[in-house]
């Protein structure tokens, strides 16, 4: 299994109730059904109030490396990325879970 971990930090001046954030989140949530190969799809808003915390966490898993590799350039995923660029920065870590 291959994990795609994403931590999202809203840009300065962008609040969680910004309509652009709602638009991004709604589009993001559809990816589970738009992209093949996803075997785990978890996400949520940060619940702590620490300066080092990111605002939104995404924890996805794919059955194979090929599934993860296909997800990156997927047109639906790239449309979500374009919306995200307007409101946030993020970091990712893709890793294989040992059997």
Residue pLDDT, tens place only, 1-23? 999 999 999 999 999 999 999 99
pLDDT tens digits for 41-90? 999 999 999 999 999 999 999 999 999 999 999 999 999 999 999 999 99
- Write the CA distances from 74 to 35, 78, 83, 87, integer angstroms: 7, 6, 15, 21
pLDDT of residue 70: 97
Q: Nearest-CA neighbor of 37 among 9, 12, 3?
A: 3
- Write the CA distances from 26 to 39, 74, 85, integer angstroms: 20, 17, 15
Per CATH, which fold does 2-96 belong to? Answer: Alpha-Beta Plaits (3.30.70)
User: How many residues would you count in the chain?
Assistant: 99
Dihedral of alpha carbons 71, 27, 55, 49, sign: negative
Residue 99 has pLDDT above 90, yes or no: no
Cβ-based neighbours of 14, under 8 Å, separated by 6 or more:
20, 21, 87, 88
Residue 39 has pLDDT above 90, yes or no: yes
């Amino acid at each position: 299994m291959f994990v795609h971990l994403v931590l999202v930090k809203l840009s300065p001046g962008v609040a969680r109730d910004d309509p652009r954030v709602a638009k991004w989140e709604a589009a993001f949530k559809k990816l589970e059904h738009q992209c093949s190969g996803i075997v785990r799809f978890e996400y949520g808003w940060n619940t702590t109030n620490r300066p080092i915390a990111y605002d939104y966490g995404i924890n996805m898993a794919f059955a194979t490396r090929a599934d993860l590799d296909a997800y990156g350039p997927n047109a639906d995923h790239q449309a979500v990325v374009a919306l995200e660029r307007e409101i946030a920065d993020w970091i990712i870590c893709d890793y294989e879970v040992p059997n």
